[in-house]
């Protein structure tokens, strides 16, 4: 099978999903542009800002499409083979992920642009609000930990062969870091220009999008300026998140999201060209023979010494490893935390939420293709160690890009490919920090700016402590719990939306069934990770290990999720009986 056929199948499935199933789901919510959205009724120029749909799509897309749809599929392909990954991405993104995002955005808009936790308070009660708020905050900490470590890995990587091609001193990680920093500064300039001069959007696009590509070239010219150790980058990136989370959305978030959206669009376009015209074939196994099945799951429960690593067991870890590429609870936080405050009309929800999630599924397929076309023996670096997912993606995008620019552009292409990963992550990291601030302020009813700073400090302080004390490349261990908590959050969000729809006497099967499927997967995965952490603590006689930390946090997440589920059941029981037709 060639990657060309995979690309054609993907495009056909996602297009049909948007126009067929997406239209059906939109009809269920009776979108009405005559109803003023919170962005209009609460416009304040800071958080509530009515935004043009194309501009907002780029911002929303870049906020949700971070390292998840890139790292997850690449890790999953290595563990399980490419066929299970393709099936879960394509089916999951249409029938679960896009429905989740669209439903979360609509629910937020119709509850005054409040978070999913506040929606739970109104429909399930105060206990559900508290449990979900704490669950979300813990999940956000793992988003920040996993994505920060993944970003730093791209900032400190080297490529001796690329240095020889470049001629003279060249540091690939330094080039990516420099390009990423310049990208943030460029977004700040664009935000100020947009706010003060108010140029037409076409003019801003014509100036700042090419400038974004130019900063990649500048990064290759100053590649040795920002060569710093990982611990220093942890401080810098999380310090940036702290500051960025307190800035008005117009100053950085909107402009950076818009430019980041174009980086994503360009990466997708490069991927499409590479898939269609690169004449690449699939070299990875369709099914990984080393992947564990039900027998392996039984050996883990039995405590067998021959039990395979948890992350190689197909059910449930295929689903949570791919994470955001098929379904992501973090997207619901973006929908209810920032995007719902900028939707000018209800009809914009379909392209912004449903459409962006399908695009993210395509990003995941492109990321998957970057490893599918590589021989298994070539997935190790010059030092013999496995290549990190960001490097595999960067190499793949570079190969696709040279189909267009020719092999002489290899240095630029590899820098762009790896910098794209960092760009996607930056857009998510400060959004995650901002959402953490929103949630804690909402929980404790503290609205002052000082309280916002304190809550932001708490949200970035815990990840910083974990990263500074964790073993190198611990994000590979944290990733599985991140994916589990992320998709469990999606199921809890769908559960909250289902109860809201049920209370209104509306059809709710299209949120209930995906919720049931994802919840069964994630509760199983969470339980297994808790078991794995207990086994590690017993074997090593130590609590200072990433798996043990995962087990402790996983236990807290499991208890909070159970409390939320109990409150949801009670809320349904309190609802007067509905007719069978109203619930169908």
d(CA 42, CA 62): 25
Q: Any residues with CB less than 8 A from the CB of 120 and at least 6 apart, and which?
A: 128, 129, 132, 496, 564, 567
Listing DSSP states for 551-563 in one string gives HHHHHHHHHHHHH
pLDDT at 384 (0 to 100):
67
pLDDT single digits (tens) 138-147: 988 888 888 8
Of 118-127, 390-399, 489-498, 520-529, the poorest mean pLDDT is in 390-399
pLDDT at 433 exceeding the cut of 90: no
The two three-digit tokens of residue 542, written as one number: 């130590």
Look at phi and psi of residue 406 and say left if phi exceeds 0, alpha if psi is from -120 to 50, else beta: left
d(CA 466, CA 32): 46
Helix, strand, coil percentages (3-state) for the chain, rounded to 5, are 75, 0, 20
Paired with 343 in beta bridges are: 51
pLDDT at 294 (0 to 100):
59
Residue with tokens 């599924």: 361
Contact yes or no for 441/451 (Cβ under 8 A): yes
308 band by pLDDT with thresholds 50, 70 and 90? low
| The CATH number of domain 3-143+262-575, selected from 3.30.70, 1.10.3470, 1.10.10, 1.20.1740 | 1.20.1740
Average pLDDT, the chain: 86
SS3 readout for 451-477: HHHHHHHHHHHHHHHHHHHCCCCCHHH
The two three-digit tokens of residue 306, written as one number: 């021959």
pLDDT at 107 exceeding the cut of 90: yes
As a whole number, mean pLDDT of residues 433-447 equals 83
As a whole number, mean pLDDT of residues 104-115 equals 93
Cα angle value 351/327/70 (rounded, 5°)? 90
Core vs surface per residue 31-55: b (16+ CB within 10 A) or e: beeeeebbbeeebeeebbbbbebeb
Reported as half-sphere exposure (CB side, CA atoms, 13 A), residue 273 has a value of 16
pLDDT at 579 exceeding the cut of 50: no
pLDDT at 472 (0 to 100):
63
pLDDT at 166 (0 to 100):
54
pLDDT at 510 exceeding the cut of 90: yes
pLDDT at 208 (0 to 100):
93
Contact yes or no for 492/329 (Cβ under 8 A): yes
Residue with tokens 């209800």: 346
| Backbone CA torsion sign across 254, 259, 260, 262 | positive
438 band by pLDDT with thresholds 50, 70 and 90? confident
pLDDT at 14 (0 to 100):
97
Of 90-94, 112-116, 199-203, 430-434, the poorest mean pLDDT is in 430-434
pLDDT at 582 (0 to 100):
39
Contact yes or no for 368/86 (Cβ under 8 A): yes
pLDDT single digits (tens) 146-186: 888 878 877 887 666 555 555 567 787 888 889 889 999 99
Q: Which of 257, 141, 1, 32 is nearest to 553 (CA)?
A: 141
pLDDT at 475 (0 to 100):
63
pLDDT at 298 (0 to 100):
60
Paired with 380 in beta bridges are: 386
Q: Which of 431, 249, 441 is nearest to 342 (CA)?
A: 249
pLDDT at 578 (0 to 100):
54
As a whole number, mean pLDDT of residues 373-393 equals 79
CB-based contacts of 298-302 (< 8 A; 24+ apart in sequence): 300/528, 300/531, 300/532, 301/531
pLDDT at 292 exceeding the cut of 80: no
As a whole number, mean pLDDT of residues 189-194 equals 93
Return the number of other C-beta atoms located less than 10 Å from residue 287's C-beta. 12
d(CA 275, CA 363): 12
pLDDT at 44 (0 to 100):
85
Distances in Å between the Cα of 291 and the Cα atoms of 76, 303, 317, 424, 472 are 10, 18, 10, 30, 25
Contact yes or no for 463/148 (Cβ under 8 A): yes
d(CA 17, CA 11): 10
The two three-digit tokens of residue 533, written as one number: 């952490």
Q: Which of 554, 477, 478, 484 is nearest to 519 (CA)?
A: 484
The two three-digit tokens of residue 203, written as one number: 């003019």
Paired with 313 in beta bridges are: 292
pLDDT at 584 (0 to 100):
32
Omega into 326 within 30° of 0, i.e. cis? no
pLDDT at 580 (0 to 100):
40
The fraction of the chain above a pLDDT of 70, given in percent, is 91
d(CA 553, CA 548): 9
SS3 readout for 164-191: HHHCCCCCHHHHHHHHHHHHHHHHHHHH
Paired with 386 in beta bridges are: 380
Paired with 2 in beta bridges are: 281
pLDDT single digits (tens) 527-562: 988 988 887 778 777 676 777 888 899 999 999 999
Contact yes or no for 467/145 (Cβ under 8 A): yes
Paired with 292 in beta bridges are: 313
Between 437 and 421, the more confident residue is 437
As a whole number, mean pLDDT of residues 303-327 equals 79
pLDDT at 581 (0 to 100):
37
Between 224 and 370, the more confident residue is 370
Contact yes or no for 27/102 (Cβ under 8 A): no
Residue 539 buriedness (CB in 10 A; 0-12 / 13-18 / 19+): exposed
**Cα torsion for 269, 272, 275, 277, to the nearest 10°?**
-80
CA 253 to chain centre: 16
pLDDT single digits (tens) 45-87: 777 889 888 888 877 887 787 778 988 999 999 989 999 999 9
The two three-digit tokens of residue 111, written as one number: 């509850």
């Amino acid at each position: 099978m060639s990657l060309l056929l995979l690309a054609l199948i993907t495009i056909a499935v996602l297009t049909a999903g948007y126009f067929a199933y997406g239209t059906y789901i939109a009809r269920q919510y009776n979108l009405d542009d005559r109803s003023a959205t919170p962005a209009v009724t609460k416009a304040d120029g800071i958080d509530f800002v009515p935004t043009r749909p194309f501009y907002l799509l780029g911002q929303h897309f870049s906020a949700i499409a971070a390292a998840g749809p890139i790292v997850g599929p690449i890790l999953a392909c290595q563990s399980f083979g490419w066929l299970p990954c393709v099936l879960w991405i394509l089916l999951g993104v249409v029938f679960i992920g896009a429905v989740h995002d669209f439903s979360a955005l609509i629910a937020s808009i119709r509850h005054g642009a409040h978070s999913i936790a506040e929606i739970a308070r109104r429909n399930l009660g105060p206990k559900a609000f508290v449990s979900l708020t704490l669950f979300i905050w813990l999940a956000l900490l793992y988003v920040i930990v996993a994505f920060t470590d993944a970003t730093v890995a791209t900032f400190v990587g080297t490529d001796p062969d690329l240095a020889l091609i470049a001629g003279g001193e060249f540091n690939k990680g330094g080039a990516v870091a420099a390009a990423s920093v310049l990208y943030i500064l460029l977004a700040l300039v664009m935000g100020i220009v947009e706010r003060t001069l108010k140029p037409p959007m076409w003019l801003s696009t014509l100036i700042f999008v090419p400038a974004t590509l130019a900063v990649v070239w500048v990064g290759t010219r100053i590649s040795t300026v920002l060569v710093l150790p990982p611990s220093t980058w942890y401080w810098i990136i999380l310090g940036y998140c702290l500051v960025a989370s307190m800035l008005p959305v117009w100053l950085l978030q909107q402009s950076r999201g818009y430019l980041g959206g174009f980086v994503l669009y360009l990466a997708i376009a490069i991927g499409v060209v590479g898939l269609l015209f690169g004449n690449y074939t699939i070299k990875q196994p369709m099914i990984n023979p080393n992947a564990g099945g039900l027998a392996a799951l039984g050996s883990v429960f039995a405590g067998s010494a021959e039990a395979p690593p948890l992350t190689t067991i197909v059910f449930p870890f295929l689903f949570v490893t791919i994470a955001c590429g098929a379904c992501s609870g973090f997207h619901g936080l973006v929908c209810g935390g920032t995007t719902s405050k900028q939707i000018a009309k209800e009809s914009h929800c379909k392209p912004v939420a449903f459409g962006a999630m399908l695009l993210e599924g395509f990003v995941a397929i492109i990321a998957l293709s970057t490893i599918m076309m590589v021989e298994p023996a070539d997935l190790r670096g010059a030092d013999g160690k496995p290549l990190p997912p960001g490097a595999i993606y960067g190499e793949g995008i570079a190969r696709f890009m040279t189909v267009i620019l020719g092999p002489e552009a290899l240095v630029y292409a590899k820098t762009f490919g790896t910098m794209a990963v960092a760009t996607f992550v930056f857009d998510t990291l400060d959004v995650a920090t901002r959402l953490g601030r929103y949630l804690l302020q909402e929980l404790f009813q503290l609205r002052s700016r000082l309280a916002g700073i304190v809550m932001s400090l708490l949200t970035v302080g815990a990840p910083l402590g974990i990263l500074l004390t964790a073993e190198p490349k611990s994000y590979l261990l944290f990733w599985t719990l991140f994916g589990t908590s992320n998709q469990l959050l999606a199921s809890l969000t769908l559960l909250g939306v289902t109860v809201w729809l049920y209370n209104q006497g509306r059809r709710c099967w299209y949120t209930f069934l995906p919720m049931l499927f994802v919840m069964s997967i994630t509760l199983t995965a969470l339980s297994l990770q808790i078991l794995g952490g207990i086994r590690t603590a017993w074997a090593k006689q130590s609590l200072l290990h990433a798996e043990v930390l995962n087990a402790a946090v996983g236990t807290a997440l499991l208890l909070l999720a159970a409390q939320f589920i109990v409150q949801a059941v009670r809320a349904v029981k309190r609802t007067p009986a509905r007719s069978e037709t109203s619930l169908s």
